[in-house]
Structure 1
């Protein structure tokens, strides 16, 4: 895949990767449960389709390893999520970290960039086909997105009440041993950094 820094949207065969953004007024009990977690727009229930933010991601190239390209990924746009890191919690749910005023202040005060310390989550692009090097054809290359442990990203419905998203009824992105629909990803609207 692209062995350079770039910005792109993440799409799947089921739709675009977006971030959930619920409001306290509409969902007083579940808005914190969903806010900031990643999902596929077409996997949201009809009542929640307006509660998403379409985002693009910055891919910071690290290296190639065992046929996979490694990247740090962060949000590129939308004032609430700009610069937020794509990371996962201990149960594998994918979200944007370092968001909002509290997250940005915490990062600034601590002056701590997890990626620079080698502690942040990095992501592996495991493409199905070889890429010819032409940026125009990169949007046609399907791939799996894997976490640093090798788990493929899936769309998963949190049915277990012990999970973080226990009060919601939609599917969210997860990279762990939790069963789900493994997603095939595509890059769209690619721009080199």
Structure 2
């Protein structure tokens, strides 16, 4: 057995032990807590909101944009969590290192809603408004209720990232290719 193999084996054993400990903490302190129920409620509420208020004729193009937002924000969230920039304390699903109601539900659905409402307004203006609400109201609210803890991160850092994500999602939703379908 090589030294590198031994190092990886040791690392993965430690990781497995930490995952077991995290699962136990989640089962003892998170599952069915009010913060866990809040996450479940957010998921159900926002999906119901989307189903009821989406523009039916725009569903496909908006879902493409929402899927991009969900995947990209989850990817960035995993990087930030891995680098120790922030932490989530009450995950709805213990196997994820990010707060899935935020990445997979709240950001994509709110962004799809923003894209479909007042389409005549410049996407740049909407991106700035969206990013302001998410960065300076949404994240501090998640921090205040104990779901999110910035460790080496400031809300301001999220502002330009969310602008870029919004503009990319808006671009995907406005592609002319969707009109050919």
Give the TM-score taking structure 1 as reference length. 0.24
**Bigger Rg, structure 1 or 2:** 2
Answer 1 or 2: which has greater helix percent.
Answer: 2
Bigger proportion of residues as strand:
1
